[in-house]
Amino acid sequence: MDNFEYVTEPVSPSGQYFNTPPLCSYVFGFLESQIPIDDSQTMYLFQHVFLPINPRFSSIMVRDKDGKMKWKKVEVKPEDHMHVPIFPKSESIELYDQYFDDYVSKIMMERTPQDKPLWEIHLIKYPTRNAKGTLIFKLHHALGDGYSLMGALLSCLQRADDPSLPLSFPSRKPSQLLSPKKGFFKWFPSTIFSFFNSFSDFGWSIAKSSMLKDDKTPIWNGEEGVESQPCVLSNLSFSLDEIKTIKSKLGVTINDVITGVIFYGIRLYMQEMDKKARTSNSTGLVLLSTRNVGSYQSIQDMTKADSKSPWGNHISFLHVSIPKLSKASLSNPLEFIWKAQKIIKRKRNTFTVFLIEWLLDMELKLRGHEAVAKHIYDTLRNSSVVISNLIGPVEPMALANHPVKGLYFTMTGGPESINIAVMSYTRILRITLKTQKGFIDEQKFKFCMVLGHMLALMSYRIQPI
């Protein structure tokens, strides 16, 4: 390829293995507007707000004279990236919901052209049950991880109450795996156990990525090529205050409660579809950021050479066994959530996440980015469900004077039958379910998720721990 003077930045290793034949992954961000969308400012926002966020939004991947992948600056044509679909006219919100769902399912299956920057924006100007209009950002995972891309989207938004003030986020302490502040006689044994558990979990994770597969159940059948099959996107909204009440009762973190409730809903669905499945060996793959930060950095800080949390992909994963559903946990969901919390806490207090990150780096150096992509693909394929989460702003936001009613995200490109993404916005927790069409009964799955949450709340109110 010529014009190499425009080639400025190497493609990161993670950027390469997220854009390969085995693994082509996208992050979808959804902004729901409280009012009908006025697109008169679209071109201004496109040219002066979105594109300047990062040079990668106006670059494509090319191979230089030495065979290395680089980002090459190109001219960005709005018509190649901005899409405003036309739906059939209708007086029925239910029909517009169906048109919206069908359109989203279609664009989630499509790959963006490699000769153009790897992103699209879809402007849905029709009302649905949830909003008067919806803005969809389709961003290739090669551009960055969820933290980077969500930070980019949030940089386009302002506080609805006072645009001069910055957005704020729920406080979240950076993870501290081993702390000698406990005192030597308490710290030393826990350190030994942590090292032992780290290598034990690391070995199990390697086996899960290569040889060990989950039992075949109503949520996992081991089918190949799931990533190219149609999927269904659905949403649940829970009160963050209700989650916090369970958190306080159990003395755990909000993420522990959310993951426990999700696992409980999954087990309820599995039992509903096949009673034997409630005791199956099933795992959840939890995607984690390896950034040791408590909140989002500004785009300017992320793109600095000495940034503590640089732009890009900084992710790893943990295999978490989904607790089996016993008669006791059926009558007391908090017991189930507590079991899930114990499993997660033990894994969180190890170095497994960083060992997995090291393994991917070593595999990249020895075997190349396509081998790493295949490793990640197999890891996703051998797990029953994939879970990720991001924090959102505490205050209501606005984009070009359009109040944002809701905010959620999902990911595509992986071979899993169920992908669950969690995001907070104001005092609402949005749980987005991406399920394989024709295999997962999405209505029953949603019902079991809601039921699990309701039973956990009831258990909190009437039963002591």
**What are the pLDDT digits (tens) for 288-340?**
766 655 555 555 565 555 555 556 666 778 889 999 988 877 878 888 998 99
Q: Return the higher-pLDDT residue of 310 and 378.
A: 378
What does the alpha-carbon distance between residue 116 and residue 114 come to, in Å, rounded to a whole number? 5
Q: Using the predicted structure, report yes or no on whether residue 188 has a pLDDT greater than 60.
A: no
Which residues neighbour 248 within 8 Å (Cβ) at sequence distance 6 or greater? none
Those residues whose C-beta lies under 8 Å from the C-beta of residue 181, and which sit 6 or more positions away, are: 187
The whole-angstrom separation of Cα 353 and Cα 361 is 13
Per-residue pLDDT, 231? 94
Dihedral over alpha carbons 353, 357, 359, 365 (to 10 degrees): 180
Distance, in Å, from the CA atom of 358 to the CA atom of 365, rounded to the nearest integer, reads 11
Can you tell me the mean pLDDT for 94-114? 94
- Asked if 316 and 175 touch (Cβ cutoff 8 Å), the reply is no
Average pLDDT over residues 242-262: 88
Same fold, 4-159 and 180-391+416-462: yes
Alpha-carbon gap, residue 151 to 169, rounded angstroms: 12
Tens digit of each residue's pLDDT (9 = 90 or more) over 263-274: 999 999 999 999
The residue extents of the domains of the chain are: 4-159, 180-391+416-462
What per-residue confidence (pLDDT) applies to 177? 42
Least trusted range by pLDDT, from 121-135, 155-169, 178-192, 334-348? 178-192
Homologous superfamily of domain range 180-391+416-462: Chloramphenicol acetyltransferase-like domain (3.30.559.10)
Tell me which CATH homologous superfamily contains domain 4-159. Answer: Chloramphenicol acetyltransferase-like domain (3.30.559.10)
Torsional sign, CA 163, 173, 30, 404: negative
Euclidean distance between CA atoms 419 and 255, whole angstroms: 17
Please list, in sequence order, all residues whose beta carbon lies within 8 angstroms of the beta carbon of residue 170, skipping any fewer than 6 positions away.
Answer: 391, 394, 424
